[in-house]
């Protein structure tokens, strides 16, 4: 039995002093652990109509999930990275703002989607992605994460949306 937590490396003081970064690279470097993570994420929800992955590590988990379910993969990209018509959502960061975009024709009205990322912290990026999907009149049925950092309010910020995380870790761990 694969223990996913054994494949998460903690990097102290990255990207700045006092942060204990949860590094998923060991998980990605283990085909068995990576496969187990994708299978575990897929088991958390019924097959959706599309998967929306958040730039950039959400692509690493969202694309294999879309293949697993045989549904479209839709990338939520940083501003200015997508050609053609887009919808965008501005959201707050700790210091400033950022913007995410989806292609305006990426999803259909009523299409059941899941939003995927590697890590849930405060939930700002995931919430912006949910709002983008809703701009296209699609439905978000759940948000999936490999890791949830507890105590930062991400799950609460996404409520009442079902949130599924394979690992829940305290911030000070």
Decide if 32 is catalytic. Answer: no
> Of 20, 44, 55, 57, which is the active-site residue?
57
168: left (phi over 0), alpha (psi -120 to 50) or beta: beta
Determine the length of the chain.
Answer: 173
Phi and psi angles of residue 122, each rounded to the nearest 5 degrees, phi first:
-80, -15
- Complete edge-to-edge strand list for the sheet that includes strand 73-78: 86-93, 96-103, 73-78, 50-54, 112-120, 139-150, 163-170
> Which residue from 32, 106, 45, 42 is spatially nearest to 75, judged by alpha carbons?
106
Decide if 57 is catalytic. Answer: yes
As annotated, the active-site residues are 57, 94
């Amino acid at each position: 039995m694969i223990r996913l937590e054994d494949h998460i490396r903690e990097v102290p003081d990255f990207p700045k002093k006092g942060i204990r970064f949860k590094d998923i690279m060991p998980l990605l470097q283990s085909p068995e652990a990576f496969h187990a993570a994708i299978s575990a994420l897929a088991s958390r929800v019924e097959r959706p109509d599309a998967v929306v992955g958040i730039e950039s590590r959400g692509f690493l988990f969202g694309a294999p999930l879309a293949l697993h379910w045989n549904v479209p993969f839709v990338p939520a990209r940083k501003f200015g990275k997508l050609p053609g018509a887009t919808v965008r959502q501005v959201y707050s960061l700790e210091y400033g703002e950022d913007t995410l975009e989806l292609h305006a024709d990426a999803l259909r009205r009523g299409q059941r989607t899941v939003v995927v990322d590697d890590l849930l912290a405060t939930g700002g990026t995931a919430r912006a992605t949910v709002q983008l999907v809703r701009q296209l009149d699609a439905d978000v049925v759940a948000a999936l994460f490999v890791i949830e950092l507890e105590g930062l309010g991400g799950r609460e910020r996404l409520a009442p949306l079902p949130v599924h995380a394979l690992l829940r870790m305290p911030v000070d761990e």
